[in-house]
Structure 1
Amino acid sequence: MEKAFDRIEWSFLIKVLRCFRFTDDFIDLVDACVRENHFSLLVNGSSTPFFTATRGLRQGDPLSPTLFILVEEVLSRSLTRAINQGLIRPYYSKRGCPIISHSLFADDAILFLNGCETSIRGLMSIISRYERAAGQLVNASKSSFTVGPSTPIGTIRRIQGLIGFSRGHLPFDYLGCPIFLGRRRIHYFDALVGKLRKKLAGWKIQLLSPGGRIQLIRHVLMSMPLHLLAVHEVLDTVLQTIRRICTSFLWDGQLEGPRRQRRVSWEKACRPTNEGGLGIRRPQDVFNMLQKKLVWRMRTTPSVLGSFVSAKYGEWARQPADIKGIKRWAD
């Protein structure tokens, strides 16, 4: 969505709150918070007279994300109802798997549906009605559609003509994670390695003490890959690259150039401080922990992902497996 928070219609927001059966006192309080605000602009160092807004939610307000999610719930339920009524044909999935038609996170959305003309027209009709009611606008320049590798060129052109978006290709990034088909490739994770190198490039490495480097590795560098490691099975090569970056930063004080002698091995440096180590977490240990946590959550917590994996891959997702069943548990 284009400027999603700034385009929210206040009247539509109030209607949504009433549909969710919030109390009148709460609705009046929200209405007063979003309407009673004044703005002034700085033009060439001088402030303009104050003026009021006519729509939109203020970004940075702790209440704004919750209100936006409630408004976006209208789009989510509209898509679900259209699928249940047969107006939109969902993307094919194995029998017994729950239908996953969309994923919404703030102003980022990814939709899954059949490429037939009826489904596309139904989708565009729902989006158009949502835009008119909520004041939202799809950012066509940042939106795209992706089809299978064997899709005929005629079908691709027909879809492009119906939705007006450009064609995208796999892999692409969604919420900071690469979405790809087939085997994992090292270059799918180049963005993660690039972020680490870019972060180091902005630091005055030569002016940092060894203790300062240790703290930056523990609290900054090792926290940057957590999101990706929690949802993807990252290649060991990528984990080794992260380790080399941290090692070079710790002992050499630089990413490029001659290597200095390592005072202690990386394994000893990753031990807890009470065991004589530096308290740095090994990327491989962090990855294994997060993957086990993901499997455990899918087994024990009701979720769409857990239901999908359980239906697609069978009994292993519902019952604890023996040592020969799941390699992640065997580790």
Structure 2
Amino acid sequence: MAKAYDRMEWSFLRCMLESLGFATGWVNLIMLCVTTVSYNFLINGLVVGRLSLLVVYARAQLSGSIHGCRVARGAPPISHLFFAHDSLLFFKANAQEVEAVKQCLDLYEGMSSQAVNYHKSSVCFSRNTPQDMRDVVAGVLGVPQSSNFGKYLGLPAFVGRNKRAAFSYIEDKIKQRICSWNKRLLSQAGKEILLKSVAQAMLTFSMTVFLLPESVCLSVQRTMNKYWWGSGTERGLHWKAWDRLCVPKKFGGLGFKDLRAFNLAMLGKQAWRFLTMPNSLVAKVYKARYYPKSSFIDASVGNCPSFCWRSIMAAHSILCGGVRRRIGNGKSTFIWGHPWLPDTGDPMINTPMPPQLNGALVSGLMDEDSNTWDHSILIFA
């Protein structure tokens, strides 16, 4: 969307009102109305909600004029991804749907007085889209064609085979930030605060989604290590290795992050969401694509996986190695195949499974009346 400052700055509006001689109270009232504006629909005297592009686009999807994209059979269709002023619209590359998308954008512009910034927008196609249809879609929308989305929310939308080149911008950004600090005016404590609160924090968002190449992590760690031991433009003597500095302070280190381990921990949080929130949109999409007939615990990398899925699966063994199922009524936990034993070593049942007990649940080992373990079955087993 075209932001307010793309057309008129609010400070300019305030200066113009003051230069025209309006009272300060009146100017403040006008600026309050402008900067906090919102729109609502009144239907038969009832407020039904605010106007947004989401409402217009979702209505077109419900009517069947726009179809979302599916990543696999059984996956939910995705027609849009909205975050603040960054929006992604998905539709089939044909004349009918692109006209429907254009009508939605025009309708939203006319009703909300907002404007779509076509100068900063582009359209991307799948590989099997003919060139003539690409030209038609781009011509109707009035936007240039692009080979990919570039970056969305600061992350690359497409990651090719050269992972180091795809994530080199992170390395360059951190190096540029560290080089901008004046090392002569900082003590070791000041350097520690900057490295922990700024340099290492810049990697958090990227590490939540992608498993960064080890070469990128090592390069960033070398840069931080050089800054820590250096003095001004001079290179200092490294009295300890970086892995020793990453040891927690209570064990004699300085508490810096091991970037590789931190990356796996952040990806483990995503995997944990797949386990605990299976009804979320992202969990449904990944399940339909990579493990449609099993749970996340039994999932594998599969064929032709995306880099995001490979990254999440890098933390799969770490998460599943320590996860335990909490037994409630036992109706959702299999006796064989699910980690439900409280043993710290191996939480799985290792005895051979009889064929007639395939799919047996833990609830079969419990007394339904007292909701306790049935000792007669357990002793017999």
Q: Fold conserved (TM > 0.5)?
A: yes
Q: Give SS of 1:41's match.
A: helix
Which deviations, in whole Å up to 9, do the C-alpha atoms of 1:177-202 show, x marking residues without a partner?
A: 11005435222212222221222233
* Equivalent in the alignment of 1:2: 2
Which deviations, in whole Å up to 9, do the C-alpha atoms of 1:57-87 show, x marking residues without a partner?
A: 349xxxx8xxxxx746x32233223223210
Which deviations, in whole Å up to 9, do the C-alpha atoms of 1:197-251 show, x marking residues without a partner?
A: 2222332122222221111111111111111111122222221222112111111
Establish whether residue 278 from structure 1 lines up as the match of residue 233 from structure 2: no
Establish whether residue 320 from structure 1 lines up as the match of residue 307 from structure 2: no
Q: Decide whether the 8 Å contact of 1:298 with 1:317 is kept in 2.
A: no
CA–CA distance in structure 1, aligned partners of residues 284 and 102 of structure 2: 29
More relative contact order, 1 or 2 (CA 8 Å, 6+ apart): 1
CA–CA distance in structure 2, aligned partners of residues 316 and 291 of structure 1: 23
Establish whether residue 77 from structure 1 lines up as the match of residue 64 from structure 2: no
Which deviations, in whole Å up to 9, do the C-alpha atoms of 1:273-327 show, x marking residues without a partner?
A: 1111011111112101100000111221131101100111115873423999954
Q: Give SS of 2:315's match.
A: helix
CA deviation after TM superposition for structure 1 residue 143, in Å: 0.6
Is the radius of gyration larger for structure 1 or structure 2? 2
Establish whether residue 289 from structure 1 lines up as the match of residue 265 from structure 2: yes
Q: Give SS of 2:239's match.
A: coil
Establish whether residue 303 from structure 1 lines up as the match of residue 290 from structure 2: no
CA–CA distance in structure 1, aligned partners of residues 61 and 298 of structure 2: 35
Amino acid at match of 2:315: R
CA–CA distance in structure 1, aligned partners of residues 107 and 154 of structure 2: 29
* Equivalent in the alignment of 1:189: 167
**Cα distance change of structure 1 residues 307 and 323 upon mapping to structure 2, 3 Å threshold:** closer
**Cα distance change of structure 1 residues 294 and 316 upon mapping to structure 2, 3 Å threshold:** farther
* Equivalent in the alignment of 1:268: 244
Establish whether residue 175 from structure 1 lines up as the match of residue 153 from structure 2: yes
**Cα distance change of structure 1 residues 48 and 58 upon mapping to structure 2, 3 Å threshold:** farther
Establish whether residue 88 from structure 1 lines up as the match of residue 66 from structure 2: yes
Establish whether residue 222 from structure 1 lines up as the match of residue 200 from structure 2: yes
CA deviation after TM superposition for structure 1 residue 171, in Å: 5.7
Residues 198-207 or 181-190, more deviating: 181-190
Amino acid at match of 1:304: L
CA–CA distance in structure 1, aligned partners of residues 295 and 111 of structure 2: 42
Structure 2: segments with no counterpart, 5+ residues: 8-12, 39-48, 303-312, 319-381
Q: Give SS of 2:171's match.
A: helix
CA–CA distance in structure 2, aligned partners of residues 42 and 137 of structure 1: 23
* Equivalent in the alignment of 2:316: 329
Q: Decide whether the 8 Å contact of 2:159 with 2:166 is kept in 1.
A: no
CA–CA distance in structure 1, aligned partners of residues 272 and 123 of structure 2: 33
Q: Decide whether the 8 Å contact of 1:273 with 1:279 is kept in 2.
A: yes
CA–CA distance in structure 2, aligned partners of residues 128 and 277 of structure 1: 59
CA deviation after TM superposition for structure 1 residue 261, in Å: 2.4
**Cα distance change of structure 1 residues 165 and 293 upon mapping to structure 2, 3 Å threshold:** same
TM norm structure 2: 0.67
Q: Give SS of 1:225's match.
A: helix
Identity %: 25
CA–CA distance in structure 1, aligned partners of residues 190 and 222 of structure 2: 18
CA–CA distance in structure 2, aligned partners of residues 258 and 150 of structure 1: 55
Residues 130-139 or 145-154, more deviating: 145-154
Structure 1: segments with no counterpart, 5+ residues: 8-38, 65-69
TM norm structure 1: 0.77
Which deviations, in whole Å up to 9, do the C-alpha atoms of 1:82-108 show, x marking residues without a partner?
A: 223210132243110011111111111
Aligned residues: 287
Q: Give SS of 1:83's match.
A: helix
Amino acid at match of 2:252: G
Amino acid at match of 1:329: H
Q: Give SS of 1:109's match.
A: strand
Which deviations, in whole Å up to 9, do the C-alpha atoms of 1:16-44 show, x marking residues without a partner?
A: xxxxxxxxxxxxxxxxxxxxxxx74299x
